[in-house]
Amino acid sequence: MKDLKHPDEDLETNVLSDQNLYSALDRFWHPVMYSSELPADRPVGAVLLEERIVLARLEGEVQVFRDLCPHRGTALSLGWVEDDCLRCAYHGWKYGADGRCTEIPARFGIEIPPKAQLKQYRAAEQAGLIWVCLADAPEYPVPEFPYFEDPSYRFIQVDEYEWECSAQRRVENYVDMAHFAWVHDGVLGDSAHPEVPDHDVWREGGELRFGNPRMSEPATSGKNKSLPINSDTSEVDVSIDYRLFMPFTVLLDQWIQVLEQRYLLFFSVCPTGPTTCKSFTLMGRDYSFGKETDQEMLDFNDLVIGQDRPIVQSQRPEELPVDLTAEIQIRGADRICVEYRRWLREIAFASD
Ligand code: FES
Ligand SMILES: [Fe+2]
């Protein structure tokens, strides 16, 4: 990170800082699609920070380019993969894995103009997702998902979904524990016990960590009903370790105490634009590998995000204010959100 500036807290500066945050986001890795969504034989388009990009598997690796053929501005995502090259659908120009044009079929044998070269971006494939960074030097590594290769876990992929809100509003909602008792009463929380448990919050490398809050969840919820516990048990005690990989990825590692088993959520949000985002979720568990449990968990996730969506999409401004005084913060209860916003603010002011 560059040295932080220390701007005044006036309104003009804070409006500027929200814009600064958006323009700083190109220095981070963001997920743009699941690995399973990119076949070997054709390119697929995506949008990251309003930039239209095209992904293709060339020479054994995912390559990412601006989705624009420099000949006539056609989207290369309309083309196809041929001999480890990307072929434009309009006049058939062919581009290699390094983005250079290798063939202009209308005039075979001519010298290829040096400008016939695609704008290329950094790409990585990890944890079942394809990640892209639009800047040359990513600020932090690609977020890690330590259990993903472990065969004692079963993982399911939740269909990605798009919301009309900023990625930072979406992520803050995901880690805000004070809303469980209200938005998810009887599902993730209990309105008779709305207190947020004490928890520590600290930084570790590029991660915001939340120390082990213990929570009780309804035993009958879709997420818990496949657990082999007594039917007269009404609550399941869990301890949760959160890792928030800045700025938009969360690994929730939930330890189910009575069973000594683990439930995992790997959640990452792509900022498609300043007030739009796309969410990707992988759910993991080391118990009940059956398809019925898969479906229960997917239904449960649908229920939870259906409850969150109208709340988050109603928030104004759509961008999360990086000025801590713009909204009201409650000591203890809003601690995670405060620390998250503080860090986003630093990212905003470290931008050019
Ligand atoms: S626009 Fe792509 S080859 Fe002409
Ligand atoms: Fe929620």
Rounded (5°) CA angle 222-227-228? 145
C-beta of 5 in contact with ligand 1 (< 6 A): no
In which element (H, E) is residue 100 found?
A: none
Question: Mind listing the pLDDT tens digit for each residue in 262-291?
Answer: 999 999 999 999 999 999 999 999 998 999
Please state which of the ranges 14-18, 137-141, 147-151, 303-307 shows the lowest mean pLDDT: 14-18
Locate the ligand 1 atom nearest the alpha carbon of residue 89 and give its number. Answer: 2
Q: Which domains, and CATH codes, for the chain?
A: 39-133 (2.102.10.10), 154-349 (3.90.380.10)
- Ligand 1, pocket-test mutation among 65, 68, 72, 78, most atoms within 8 A of CB: 72
- Residue 268 to residues 31, 36, 108, 128, 335: CA-CA distances in angstroms? 7, 16, 45, 11, 21
What is the reported pLDDT for 8?
Answer: 42
Give the residue whose CA is nearest to atom 3 of ligand 1. Answer: 91
Inform me whether the pLDDT recorded for 149 exceeds 50. yes
Residue nearest to atom 4 of ligand 1 (CA): 91
Q: How far apart are CA 335 and CA 329, in angstroms?
A: 8
**Closest ligand, as measured to the CA of 91:** 1
Looking from the CA of residue 104, the nearest atom of ligand 1 is: 3
Atom of ligand 1 nearest to the CA of 93: 3
Model confidence at 236, in pLDDT bands (50, 70, 90)? confident
Expressed in angstroms and rounded, the spacing between residue 308 Cα and the centre of ligand 2 is 5
Note the pTM of the prediction, 2 decimals: 0.92
Model confidence pLDDT, tens digit, residues 45-55:
999 999 999 99
Strand order in the sheet with 120-126: 30-34, 129-133, 120-126, 61-66, 51-58, 44-48
Ligand 1 pocket test: which of 65, 67, 69, 107 has the largest number of ligand atoms within 8 Å of its C-beta? 69
pLDDT at 15 over 70: no
Q: How many angstroms is it from 53 CA to the middle of ligand 1?
A: 16
